[in-house]
Amino acid sequence: MSPQGKNADASAYLLYHSIGMYPGKAEEMAAAFAAFSAGWGAHDNAQWMHALGMRQEFIDRWQTLIGAPAGTLTTSENVTTALNSLIGALPEEHLKGRRLLIAGDCFPSMHFLLSGLAARYGFTLDTVPLRPGESWVRDEDVIARWGPDVGVALLTFVTSTASHRCDLETLVAHGRRMGSIIGVDITQAVGLLPYDVMHPVVDFSISTSLKWLCATPGAGILHVAEPLIEACRPELRGWFSQADIFSWDLDKFAFANDIRRFDNGTPSILACAGSLPALRWHAGQDMAALLAHNRRLAGSIVDTAKELKLKLVSPENEAERGGSVMVALPDTVNPGAFVQELAGNGIYADHRSQILRLSPGCMTTEAGIARLAEALKAAL
């Protein structure tokens, strides 16, 4: 039966690690795009004022969300382009002849990018491996590998493969002693787990607006701390990188003195416009209540996995876990076919090989989790 048939609701929507839903999302997005279209298509001269105002609200809301000081956060298409922009802007002494440290359970796109940039910028990409048979890289293994020759370290706040939550305070404190530039990929955490760029102080943060924030693709962000901004000279630059974007003297280019130097050509507006309804909705929520709801439902998933003797791929201790619960399906279960069967019954999840990824959010209900449990029991 199609998703429009049996159980066609969000009570068993478990894809908050991927897209994310909130009540009225489709209608509010449609209204936002319609408002953008009306302004952009009007026969007047107010298009840019209207469009750039939407982008600025997007930036302002993100700054509030993660405690970023004004002038330290800008838009990016995604986390990969944000990281690329940052790496290409760093002074040579942070990269050439030094190590760039990353964990083996990072989002793969980060590793793909950095492995391709290593030779160009002269750094060694050092990947902390998972221990045999384990699902996430241990914090102590990252610290053991993190010496004073590490110029840059990219931490993953919550992993997409196991929902492991790293101990940011401990890791950042160690990184400060090593004198490294410290960045954090907050994509799988922001919007559910508290994150503040000033507590602990980090040098840069990258994210998308998808997942727990429930917004649109193409609406990524780059935050860079003020002291680091001053030292950065982005390679990718353009007219929006200047303090005065209308300064078109070809021989007098000068970077803006804040995060705007990481802008380049004409910015993308549509993703910001489409994301504003979700960011406005999120700003009006009780964050403690959202997290408590997730913890209660995620706990039920953990209990079901233990009851069915399914291998838990995520940490059982919720203090070490993000909002998702990953379980390993036995080899006797075809994961692709099983996910399709779940969707036919209005239960929405995904998989990475045999690992089933389950992320309960604001629209997921206890009844939906009960349906998931019955489906798992039937499959096994």
pLDDT in tens, 187-196: 999 999 999 9
CATH topology assigned to domain 286-379 = Aspartate Aminotransferase, domain 1 (3.90.1150)
Task: Give domain limits for the chain.
Answer: 30-283, 286-379
What is the pLDDT, as a whole number, of residue 5? 40
Residue 59 near residue 278, CB atoms below 8 Å: no
Give Cβ neighbours of residue 273 (< 8 Å, ≥ 6 apart): 32, 33, 35, 36, 51, 54, 58
What's the token pair of residue 145?
Answer: 């590998």
Select 30-283's CATH number: 3.40.1160.10, 3.40.718.10, 3.40.640.10, 3.90.230.10. 3.40.640.10
Residue 51 near residue 36, CB atoms below 8 Å: yes
Taking alpha carbons only, the member of 303, 305, 301, 342 closest to residue 323 is 301
Q: Is it the case that residue 4 has pLDDT exceeding 80?
A: no
**CA–CA distance from 357 to each of 6, 20, 46, 188, 364 (Å)?**
22, 14, 45, 13, 14
What's the token pair of residue 3?
Answer: 């998703």
What is the pLDDT, as a whole number, of residue 289? 98
pLDDT in tens, 248-268: 999 999 999 999 999 999 999
Residue 369 near residue 295, CB atoms below 8 Å: no
Global pTM reads 0.96
| Burial class of residue 141 (count of CB atoms within 10 Å of its CB; 0-12, 13-18, 19+) | middle
**CA–CA distance from 377 to each of 51, 141, 241, 316 (Å)?**
51, 37, 56, 20
Q: How far apart are CA 256 and CA 128, in angstroms?
A: 36
Strands 204-207, 181-185: pairing is parallel
pLDDT in tens, 108-142: 999 999 999 999 999 999 999 999 999 999 999 99
Q: How far apart are CA 288 and CA 100, in angstroms?
A: 35
What is the pLDDT, as a whole number, of residue 380? 85
For all residues of the chain together, what is the average pLDDT? 96
Do 286-379 and 30-283 have the same topology in CATH? no
Residue 117 near residue 143, CB atoms below 8 Å: no
Q: How far apart are CA 307 and CA 362, in angstroms?
A: 25
Alpha helices in 19-167 (DSSP H): 25-40, 47-66, 79-87, 108-121, 139-145
Q: Is it the case that residue 52 has pLDDT exceeding 90?
A: yes
Q: Residue 304 is inside which H or E element, if any? A: helix 287-307
**CA–CA distance from 50 to each of 192, 260, 270 (Å)?**
30, 19, 12
